[in-house]
Structure 1
Amino acid sequence: MLLGCIADDFTGASDLANTLARAGMATTQFVGVPPGASAGTCEAGVVALKTRSIPADEAVAQSLAALRWLRAQGCRQFLFKYCSTFDSTPEGNIGPVALALLDALDEPGAFVCPVFPATGRTLYMGHLFVGDRLLSESGMQRHPLTPMTDPDIRRWLGRQIQGEAGLVRHDAVRRGSAAISEAWRDEVAAGRKLVVVDAITDDDLRAIGHAARDHALITGGSGIALGLPENFRAQGLLSGERLAFEPLLGPAAVLSGSCSSMSLRQVDDYRQDHPALAVTPDVLLSGDLTVQIALGFARKHLADAPLIYSSADPDSVSRAQATHGRDRAARAVEAFFGELAAQLIQAGVTRLAVGGGETSGAVVGALSLRQLAIGPEIDPGVPVLSAYPALAGPQGIRLALKSGNFGAPDFYRKALRQMSHAAPHP
């Protein structure tokens, strides 16, 4: 294993694994820290954790455990992957985890670059944009768990760590990897261990990746990985091997727990001509809707790939949180989707598309998945995954784990189609 990656949620892990696989690295996604050594050809290992919304000390402990395992697999370089919208809170754990990894690796500093141009995430003068809007005006300011109210990533990081974060400005990035490295060294010499790096295009990310060729640790969104495989290829270390993807026919279902603006559009699109069941914290906590009731609905409509969703507008989410408490409402929804996913697989579902990072984490946990194979890309940042839970038959299942704002409005239609008719990714 050459490149060891630590992702703070499951959708982000598959996003990163997709980027690396498309760039020619033999990539495997692991769910949690594996108990033993990796088997088979694996040049990039992505350990998917569920640390995005947990206290910093817990996130640090889990991330260091992942680092120890990856080091034991022989990794030469490490990537800490977080969301391209930098999902965290002022008390969040991105900064503390990055610093803990630096200390463990005895490194002086690391890039911080959440950029992913293919989905509209760009960074200029240290400010993160989603499309043509600042992060704080993109809808992310209303995220139910990690509201992003400040687009200045240096300032946001500064609330999570002691000291300041640095910045490599875009004029240095445009001049190429040597200029990036020089600007980074200046920031680190000034005592700024975490250095935010502007990037607007994929070419910017490739230049940053080249500048990071001798760094032990890089941090960022999946886009930062665009330039990393070429560093290994230039050293003759990549095999060019890739697992063939096997499409799978069979019953399908869609579960959507994200409340992002794009998720709401995707739910509206899909339910126009598919059976749909809405879920709220109110009906779950009152007992008016149970997993068995939802399973009955799904069984009745299994031939038509039903949708079961808790995606709701910001006002509805706020009311539910005010009534039940944010954590209690979130736990109820996650537990519901996790148990329902397991029941659906037992009922014969072989294709499952899931929307939302927390929902995806609940589903992966409930299915006791330990390893995922990367298939073709559905939309930027979202591949089809092959998994083999004990609840399924020998052919396993095909999954899509989608971060809330990722994907086109017709994402769920495309996802189910790709699972059954996909060709290997380029």
Structure 2
Amino acid sequence: MPIVLGGIADDFTGATDLANNLVRAGMRTVQVIGVPQDALQEGAANGLDLTEVDAVVVALKSRSCPVDQAISESLAALEWLKAQGARQLFFKYCSTFDSTPEGNIGPVADALLEALSATQTAFVPAFPINGRSVYQGHLFVGDRLLNDSGMQHHPLNPMTDADIVRVLSRQTPHGVGLLDHATLCRGAQEARQRLDELAHQNVRHVVCDSLDEQDLEVLAEALVDHALVTGGSGLAQALPAQYRRKGWLEPIDDAAVLAPAQGAAMVLSGSCSRMT
């Protein structure tokens, strides 16, 4: 059976976060570092059987590299995931949307859409459980706007504008619109209708408000048939339930759920952010 979800993450920790949320929602998930080539065949000989996998997440290092490189690596990951039969593609970036005025989020999304012959995708950076929410297109970290959260001092990608519609508009020549919270509150059907209206207005990129887990569930239902979705890993918690509703996934096997870890723990941090 082909994999259901193919993830393309712009860094290793983001890929791990995405894979973790998919597993928590009952999807059998494999994470690979870089686009598999010869290593995949070696892995298959060592027990990596993709027929027993629901999702594969490819971890890249494309967040802060030159735009052309980010596009090339992301397209290579897309082609490999398509070859595995992925029903839906997920472009994963940080829930703080950190990027430069030129990219790489907008250019990579454009390239993926064109490769999939798709006309629209959604941007869902919100991760409410970690305090990341979007309202009226503005990204909040806790109770602070993104540009007042510490991210304005990021050494590589300083985020000085919390308006994600405006940020994304600087990264793409295509139309950018908003799926607002008031529409989400009216349910998935209204959200789909708004997405269709924006598509007819040639709006290719739709930034989505999201304040809590219920909003993510509405978005997952509205977006499940899109060839490409993009965002932080929060949306990944809600998508598997929609895959099961469509018959793409088996019911959760309680026996396959990992038991809580016991004993001591070590925390390694690669960040000096306020959250850390």
**Alignment partner of 1:49 out of 39, 60, 78:** 60
- Tell me the CA shift for residue 138 of structure 1: 0.5
Task: Say whether residues 1:59 and 2:70 are aligned partners.
Answer: yes
For the residue of structure 2 that corresponds to 1:185, the secondary structure is helix
- Tell me the CA shift for residue 47 of structure 1: 0.7
Partner of 2:196: 185
- Tell me the CA shift for residue 133 of structure 1: 0.6
Partner of 2:207: 196
Q: 1:168 to 1:26 in 2, by over 3 A?
A: same
Partner of 1:261: 274
For the residue of structure 2 that corresponds to 1:162, the secondary structure is coil
| Letter of the structure 2 residue corresponding to residue 121 of structure 1 | R
| Letter of the structure 2 residue corresponding to residue 258 of structure 1 | S
- Tell me the CA shift for residue 192 of structure 1: 1.4
| Letter of the structure 1 residue corresponding to residue 166 of structure 2 | R
- Tell me the CA shift for residue 135 of structure 1: 0.3
Relative contact order, higher structure (CA 8 A, sep 6+): 2
| Letter of the structure 1 residue corresponding to residue 158 of structure 2 | P
Per-residue CA distance 1:301-340 (angstroms, 9 max, x = gap): xxxxxxxxxxxxxxxxxxxxxxxxxxxxxxxxxxxxxxxx
Task: Say whether residues 1:94 and 2:105 are aligned partners.
Answer: yes
Partner of 1:421: none
**Alignment partner of 2:177 out of 162, 166, 170:** 166
Separation in 2, partners of 1:246, 1:69: 33
Q: 1:55 to 1:174 in 2, by over 3 A?
A: same
Matches within 5 A, 1:192-341: 192-239=203-250, 240=252, 242=256, 244=258, 255-263=268-276
- Tell me the CA shift for residue 55 of structure 1: 1.2
| Letter of the structure 2 residue corresponding to residue 54 of structure 1 | C
Task: Say whether residues 1:21 and 2:34 are aligned partners.
Answer: no
Unaligned runs of 5+ residues in structure 2 are: none
Calculate percent identity across the aligned residue pairs. Answer: 53
Partner of 1:78: 89
Separation in 2, partners of 1:202, 1:249: 30
Partner of 2:157: 146
Separation in 2, partners of 1:246, 1:140: 33
Partner of 1:124: 135
RMSD: 1.9
- Tell me the CA shift for residue 27 of structure 1: 1.1
Q: 1:59 to 1:133 in 2, by over 3 A?
A: same
Work out whether residues 154 and 164 of structure 1, in 8 Å CA contact, stay in contact via their aligned partners in 2: no
Work out whether residues 174 and 205 of structure 2, in 8 Å CA contact, stay in contact via their aligned partners in 1: no
| Letter of the structure 1 residue corresponding to residue 12 of structure 2 | F
> What TM-score results when the alignment is normalised by the length of structure 1?
0.59
Work out whether residues 10 and 61 of structure 2, in 8 Å CA contact, stay in contact via their aligned partners in 1: yes
The number of residue pairs the alignment matches comes to: 262
- Tell me the CA shift for residue 78 of structure 1: 0.6
- Tell me the CA shift for residue 28 of structure 1: 1.3
Work out whether residues 24 and 237 of structure 2, in 8 Å CA contact, stay in contact via their aligned partners in 1: no
For the residue of structure 2 that corresponds to 1:195, the secondary structure is strand
| Letter of the structure 2 residue corresponding to residue 146 of structure 1 | N
For the residue of structure 2 that corresponds to 1:45, the secondary structure is strand
Partner of 1:283: none
- Tell me the CA shift for residue 91 of structure 1: 1.6
Per-residue CA distance 1:193-243 (angstroms, 9 max, x = gap): 011011101110011000012111001110112221112211333244537
Work out whether residues 97 and 125 of structure 2, in 8 Å CA contact, stay in contact via their aligned partners in 1: yes
For the residue of structure 1 that corresponds to 2:170, the secondary structure is helix
Deviates more, 1:30-39 or 1:8-17: 30-39
Work out whether residues 80 and 219 of structure 1, in 8 Å CA contact, stay in contact via their aligned partners in 2: yes
Separation in 2, partners of 1:230, 1:58: 34
- Tell me the CA shift for residue 56 of structure 1: 1.1
| Letter of the structure 2 residue corresponding to residue 259 of structure 1 | C
For the residue of structure 1 that corresponds to 2:57, the secondary structure is strand
Separation in 1, partners of 2:63, 2:193: 32
Q: 1:253 to 1:123 in 2, by over 3 A?
A: closer
Task: Say whether residues 1:30 and 2:32 are aligned partners.
Answer: yes
| Letter of the structure 1 residue corresponding to residue 69 of structure 2 | E
Work out whether residues 28 and 46 of structure 1, in 8 Å CA contact, stay in contact via their aligned partners in 2: yes
Separation in 2, partners of 1:233, 1:101: 25
- Tell me the CA shift for residue 253 of structure 1: 6.4
Separation in 2, partners of 1:119, 1:131: 8
- Tell me the CA shift for residue 262 of structure 1: 2.7
Work out whether residues 123 and 206 of structure 2, in 8 Å CA contact, stay in contact via their aligned partners in 1: yes
Work out whether residues 121 and 131 of structure 1, in 8 Å CA contact, stay in contact via their aligned partners in 2: yes
Separation in 2, partners of 1:118, 1:253: 22
Separation in 1, partners of 2:81, 2:234: 21
Q: 1:17 to 1:156 in 2, by over 3 A?
A: same
Q: 1:33 to 1:131 in 2, by over 3 A?
A: same
